[in-house]
Amino acid sequence: MMLHIPEVLSQGELDRVRALIEAGPWVDGNETSGFQSALAKDNLQLAEGSAPALEAGALIAAAVGRHPLFVAGALPASVFPPMFNRYGPGKKFDSHVDNAIRINRTGQRLRADLSATLFLSAPDDYEGGELTVDDTFGVHQVKLAAGDLILYPSSSLHRVEPIIRGQRTSAILWIQSLVRDDAKRTLLFDMDMAIQNAGARLGQDDPAVISLTGGYHNLLRMWAEL
């Protein structure tokens, strides 16, 4: 499942993140690449562990954690600290699959079930630079408003198209979900949305809504890994 989550950052939060990361320190993006990614990756990355990365990352982590659509779609157990990428003219990230296991600078391990790109540049700020994701339903090209996020399975083959003009900056997150299987997560998300719609029309105390809610939680109980 690919899920567009709008307005993860407010305008004030977006301005704050941009101000924090603008001056860097920006380093070669391959400092944190695996073997496959190192062959494909050509960008800059905000130095992991730097003060701007930590402060901006904490702001973003808090924002995604309180966004109801992100929580419903990802069912997050753990979120890897956000990393920041920057692409200028000619820069790109060729087709790759994200590493299955992420290890942060404290040694904590996380299984990457889901990847997320939070766009920090406005679409008019650059030409090219689309996030292209290949899945069983075809090829999807994504270029969102600044402050919006796209969530997709980390197992997806994806790439960042070459920048033709301008500069593209984004934050990248990886999520270990309570439910590792994408099909099961999708089913739970669809049920959640249907329950919310039914509750808005019928009332949360309607017997059908109560029954559906119970079914959702019993499936989550069956599939969740803690």
| Residue 226 in this model has a pLDDT that exceeds 70 | yes
Q: Which residues contact 128 (CB under 8 A, 6 or more apart)?
A: 161, 162, 163, 164, 165
Q: What is the pLDDT of residue 92?
A: 95
Of 54 and 29, more confident? 54
**DSSP calls for 178-195:** SS--HHHHHHHHHHHHHH
The pTM of the full predicted model, rounded to 2 decimals, is 0.93
The residue written with tokens 């419903």 in the block is: 72
Cα 119 to Cα 143, 191, 218, 223: the distances in Å are: 8, 28, 35, 31
Compute the average pLDDT of residues 197-225.
Answer: 97
The C-alpha R_g of the chain, in whole angstroms, comes to 18
Residue entry with tokens 């039914």: 198
Domains located in the chain, CATH noted: 3-177 (2.60.120.620), 182-223 (4.10.860)
For residue 174, report the phi and psi dihedrals to the nearest 5 degrees.
-125, 140
SS3 173: strand
Q: What is the mean pLDDT of the chain?
A: 94
State the pLDDT confidence band at 135, using cuts at 50, 70 and 90. Answer: confident
DSSP of 43-62: -EEEPTT-HHHHHHHHHHHH
Omega into 25 within 30° of 0, i.e. cis?
yes
